[in-house]
Amino acid sequence: MQSAPVPLWPDHTPGALGSSANDIPTLTAYLPAAGKANGASMLILPGGGYGMLADHEGKGYADWLVAQGVTCYVLKYRLGSHGYRHPAMLNDAARGLRLVRSFARRDGLDPARVGIIGSSAGGHLASTLLTHFDAGNATATDPIERESSRPDLGVLCYPVITMGQFTHQGSKTNLLGSSPSPELVQNLSNELQVTPQTPPCFLWHTVEDASVPVENSLLFAEALRRNHVPFSLHIYEKGRHGLGLTKGAPPWADQCLYWFGERGFLGAAKH
């Protein structure tokens, strides 16, 4: 079941450049059938080079995960093509994760089983939150801001990770502008920001990816390994960029579900 989009901030979006739909980030819920929810929730970040949002990496993933009993929320985050730059996108992702965790508490789901999945530039945004989260503000008047923005696990599909040699230049420009400082480039090169506190991750990529080089996933996996963070890395020989769950995609979805089982993420159905 799909709900109507809900604004991340009910009154005014911090840092908004206007009041159009492009200026108002939202969450759209996709709910399992009655009695089928297993307690897990997932925040979904579609890709699109920080210039658009790919529906098959949003609703497409939600439909797949809902069938597994996962309660899903697709984030419509602000974009470089609409004049936004970092940290607007990270602020949207962090607020989205806090909301999903608060919804889990409200709806009798498990607030300690809230994951994030992102593809391409959405994978960069997911990896940014996976490495730039916070515990929440315990003194905030807004109860949503008291929630942690740390995902409990991450799924990164052919992600942009680095802003360095192997970056996707369009994503980098849309996110950081045409002349970012070296400090900003380093801060958003997420392979450099992994710590032992980074959540466990599932990553997949193809060697043939001509848009986002496979080195992005390899660099992040190497950083996870170095910091003793659990991960599952899948590199496939064949396949273009942006496949998601479309025809011809490698069998990453089944392997991801297996990994969810290993992590105890899916749990039991709620009644």
Per the listing, tokens 């009695």 go with 35
CATH architecture label of 41-263 = 3-Layer(aba) Sandwich (3.40)
Mean per-residue pLDDT, 154-174: 97
Categorize the per-residue pLDDT at 89 as very low, low, confident or very high, splitting at 50, 70 and 90: very high
Q: What separation in angstroms does the CA of 181 have from each of 58, 79, 187, 240?
A: 31, 20, 10, 32
So what's the pLDDT on residue 196?
98
So what's the pLDDT on residue 153?
98
Is the predicted pLDDT of residue 271 greater than 80, yes or no?
no
Is the predicted pLDDT of residue 270 greater than 70, yes or no?
no
Instruction: Report domain extents, the chain.
Output: 41-263
Give the sheet arrangement for strand 231-236, strand by strand. 6-7, 26-30, 71-76, 41-45, 114-119, 153-157, 201-206, 231-236
Q: Around Cβ 210, how many Cβ atoms within 10 Å?
A: 8
Mean residue pLDDT across the chain: 96
So what's the pLDDT on residue 1?
77
So what's the pLDDT on residue 106?
96
Tens of pLDDT along 46-55? 999 999 999 9
So what's the pLDDT on residue 267?
81
Mean per-residue pLDDT, 187-201: 98
Tens of pLDDT along 199-257? 999 999 999 999 999 999 999 999 999 999 999 999 999 999 999 999 889 999 999 99
Categorize the per-residue pLDDT at 269 as very low, low, confident or very high, splitting at 50, 70 and 90: low
Query: In angstroms, rounded to a whole number, what is the distance separating the alpha carbons of residues 90 and 48?
Result: 15
Is the predicted pLDDT of residue 174 greater than 60, yes or no?
yes
Report which of residues 142 and 268 the model is more confident about.
142
Tens of pLDDT along 29-69? 999 998 999 999 999 999 999 999 999 999 999 999 999 99
So what's the pLDDT on residue 133?
98
Is the predicted pLDDT of residue 110 greater than 60, yes or no?
yes
Categorize the per-residue pLDDT at 2 as very low, low, confident or very high, splitting at 50, 70 and 90: confident
Is the predicted pLDDT of residue 121 greater than 50, yes or no?
yes
Q: C-alpha dihedral over 177, 197, 127, 134, to 10 degrees?
A: -60
Percent of the chain predicted with pLDDT > 70: 99
